[in-house]
């Protein structure tokens, strides 16, 4: 009984510190979230932290990934590519001179093509949320 209580306390204690760093790692997909969460969790709490971090990270990553319909729409559309010197990175905003295109029936996402890569963005913040590969 005492070991169970101790493990529960450790897991509960690790969950809160793992959530915040995991958000930073889990912006591209469920897999990225799980891997990032597990890595951060392992640093914070060893093997138990890795498990907790992986589960939390996967949940955050899945929430951040655009729906399949959005990704499919963006892949079908033909738009000119804009050339940028900087690398396109998930979580970073695109410059204001990059034209964003609307996605019909979905105001949560916009898209563009940068350096020949299709990019899904949050139109309010211009931050890249997904790079279609």
Q: Determine which of 4-8, 62-66, 104-108 has the lowest per-residue pLDDT on average.
A: 4-8
- How does pLDDT run across 12-69, given as a tens digit for each residue? 444 444 444 433 433 445 555 556 666 666 666 677 666 666 665 554 454 578 999 9
Residues in a beta bridge with 93: 127
Nearest to 60 by CA among 34, 98, 92: 34
pTM, whole model, 2 decimals? 0.56
Residues in a beta bridge with 118: 113, 132
Q: Where are the domains of the chain?
A: 2-64, 68-132
Question: Quick one: angle between helices 30-64 and 2-25, nearest 10?
Answer: 80
């Amino acid at each position: 009984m005492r070991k169970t209580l101790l493990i529960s306390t450790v897991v509960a204690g690790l969950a809160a510190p793992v959530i915040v760093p995991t958000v930073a790692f889990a912006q591209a997909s469920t897999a990225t979230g799980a891997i990032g969460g597990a890595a951060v969790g392992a640093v914070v709490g060893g093997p138990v932290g890795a498990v907790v971090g992986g589960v939390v990270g996967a949940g955050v990553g899945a929430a951040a990934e655009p729906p399949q319909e959005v990704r499919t729409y963006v892949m079908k559309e033909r738009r000119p590519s804009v050339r940028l010197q900087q690398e396109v990175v998930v979580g970073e905003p695109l410059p204001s001179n990059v034209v964003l295109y609307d996605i019909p029936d979905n105001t949560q996402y916009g898209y563009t093509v940068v350096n020949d890569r299709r990019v899904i963005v949050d139109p309010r913040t211009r931050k890249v949320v997904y790079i279609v590969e």
